[in-house]
């Protein structure tokens, strides 16, 4: 009879335990929420020119947007040329690739000014790059 009682207690414990699985799911959810990077686009539209070539960058840390009316924005902060240069100088240790996204109707002189000032602040020997973004058509 003791043999049957021991067998019944083992049968009851064979159910799937859900509490550890729920804990793991919540831990993964919290991990992905904390490590996600939220990028905010500027409040003006940028229409990129088209290109036939494609290049992949290892890590896109900072984006400079140039609007058609010479607005300049680094990710979600709007700047003029001087304050953009100061911002890049203060954050140059965090920049691996600076991507310049100029509107196709932006003045060429403004795009060149942004590139030159960015080039003054970033060091190519440290692996920092400056790239121009274009719209890719498949």
Residue 40 lies in a domain: no
**Within-domain flag for 45:** no
Answer yes or no: do 74 and 118 share one domain: yes
Torsion of CA 24, 29, 30, 35, to 10 degrees: 120
DSSP 99: E
Structure tokens at 133: 């973004």
Q: Total domain count for the chain? A: 2
- Same domain flag for 27 and 89: no
Looking at the structure, tell me whether residues 31 and 55 fall in a common domain: no
SS3 content of the chain, % helix, strand, coil (to 5): 40, 20, 40
Query: What are the backbone dihedrals phi and psi of residue 16, each rounded to the nearest 5 degrees, phi first?
Result: -80, 125
- What would the pLDDT profile of 25-71 be if each residue is shown by its tens digit? 999 999 988 888 776 777 778 787 777 776 665 445 688 999 888 88
Confidence of residue 16 (pLDDT cuts 50, 70, 90): confident
Could you give the CA distance from residue 49 to residue 116 in angstroms, rounded to a whole number? 20
pTM equals 0.57
Alpha-carbon gap, residue 138 to 71, rounded angstroms: 29
* Shared-domain flag, residues 7 and 73: no
For residue range 77-102, what is the model confidence (pLDDT) as tens digits? Answer: 888 888 888 888 888 777 888 888 88
Query: What stretch of H or E contains 101?
Result: strand 97-102
Residues 74 and 123 in one domain: yes
At 57 the pLDDT is 54
Q: Could you tell me if 65 and 73 are in contact, meaning their C-beta atoms sit under 8 angstroms apart?
A: yes
Q: Are residues 11 and 75 in the same domain?
A: no
Task: Say whether both 56 and 107 belong to one domain.
Answer: yes
Q: Please report whether residue 41 resides in a domain.
A: no
User: Domain residues for 19?
Assistant: 2-35
Backbone angles phi, psi at 30, to 5 degrees: -65, -40
Q: Quick one: tokens of 11?
A: 């049968």
Residue 94 lies in a domain: yes
């Amino acid at each position: 009879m003791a043999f049957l009682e021991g067998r019944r207690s083992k049968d009851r414990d064979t159910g799937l335990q859900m509490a550890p699985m729920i804990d793991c799911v919540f831990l993964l959810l919290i991990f992905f929420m904390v490590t996600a990077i939220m990028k905010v686009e500027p409040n003006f539209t940028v229409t990129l020119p088209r290109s036939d070539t494609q290049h992949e960058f290892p890590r896109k840390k900072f984006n400079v947007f140039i609007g058609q009316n010479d607005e300049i924005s680094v990710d979600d902060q709007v700047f003029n040329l001087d304050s953009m240069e100061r911002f890049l100088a203060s954050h140059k240790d965090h920049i691996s690739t600076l991507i310049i996204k100029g509107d196709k109707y932006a003045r060429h002189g403004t795009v060149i000014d942004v590139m030159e000032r960015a080039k003054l602040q970033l060091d190519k020997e440290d692996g920092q790059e400056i790239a121009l973004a274009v719209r890719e058509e498949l």
